[in-house]
Amino acid sequence: MQEFIEVIFRTNRTGYYINDKDLQLEPDMMIVVKVERGEEIGKIVNCSIRNAELEEKMQKRDAQKILRIATEEDMKQLERVKAKEKEAHEKFLKMEEKYPFEMKLLQTVYQLDGNKLTFFFSADGRIDFRDFVRELATEFKTRIELHQTSGREDARRLGGIGPCGKPYCCVTFLKKFNQVSIKMAKDQNLLGNLSKISGPCGRLLCCLHYEEDFYLKKALKFPEIGEEIFYNNKVMRVNKNDYFSDQITLETPERENYIITLKEYQKTKDKQER
């Protein structure tokens, strides 16, 4: 099975490349790789990834290759590119003033060889910027891409501290955004206050995805919410399951609550089913 090198670019995009030249590579090393329209520079994240699914995908589209370990000249070129990005950023803001739409320019990134210039921006709703793109292409004389970011992408780009007191997962180790749904919050008894389980990006916290399997496994041992049981000479319904303390909250028709253990619930249920 082919080994792949994982590379992260300045836009936080990651890619996988084949080291077909047997270069002596190490994590955090800067390398130059082949991209669709030329050359780009990135930093190695992982030097040895073996993945059958990845290999199949790469074979179908002719996996891009590592061209070389970044040289002193490549690093000088990167510094020149960064200087051009500052100029392009300022020009973009001035050119935008005569257009009716509103957008917030977040980042301006040139490809290492200058063959592509990407502007990352946020905006409310979709924007028709076709005329603007044509004017930008005429001004900068290179391929132009305008990329409208999502709240999650903005959080990754800007960074910050989450409610747990640690840097955002998307900044530190999360390589791709997983789908986080309201169902996951429901499975984890967290629907009471959505603001507490939403991140600064405005979306549900990514960490809900990490714990979903635990809750689904625990739920198999617990009754469903709304299930009825005859307890303490009354018909009660299950109102809440506490998966950590193995307790169940029962509610009477008069809205009185009783907390019993999972063992106690199962014993009571077993007696009634005999």
Weakest-pLDDT range from 48-62, 128-142, 171-185, 188-202: 48-62
Greater confidence (2 vs 64) lies with 64
The distance in angstroms from the start CA to the end CA of the chain is: 57
Domain ranges of the chain: 4-70, 78-149, 161-218, 228-273
Quick one: pLDDT at residue 61?
58
Measured between alpha carbons, how far is residue 125 from residues 92, 103, 130, 145, 152 in Å? 20, 10, 15, 18, 16
35-85 pLDDT per residue, tens: 888 899 999 988 877 666 666 666 655 567 899 999 999 999 999 999 999
Share of residues in the chain with pLDDT > 90 (%):
33
Taking the C-alpha atoms of residue 73 and residue 79, their distance in angstroms, rounded to an integer, is 10
CA distances from 137 to 48, 105, 140, 142, 145 (A): 39, 17, 5, 6, 9
Q: Is the pLDDT of residue 159 over 60?
A: yes
φ, ψ for residue 157 (rounded to 5)? -70, -40
Q: What is the pLDDT of residue 58?
A: 61
* C-beta of residue 41 within 8 angstroms of C-beta of residue 32: yes
Counting residues of the chain whose pLDDT is more than 70, the rounded percentage is 94
Cβ(88)–Cβ(105) below 8 Å: no
* CATH number for domain 78-149, candidates 3.30.300, 3.20.20, 3.40.50, 1.20.120: 3.30.300
Mean residue pLDDT of the chain comes to: 86
Which range is most confident: 16-30, 66-80, 221-235? 66-80
Handedness of CA 156, 36, 53, 29 (dihedral sign): negative
- Burial class of 164 by CB neighbour count within 10 A (0 to 12, 13 to 18, 19+): exposed
Q: What is the DSSP string of 4-58?
A: EEEEE-TTS-EEEEE-TT-----TT-EEEEEETTEEEEEEEEEEEE--HHHHHHH
Q: Compute the average pLDDT of residues 79-98.
A: 94
Task: Give the confidence band of 153 by pLDDT, cuts at 50, 70, 90.
Answer: confident
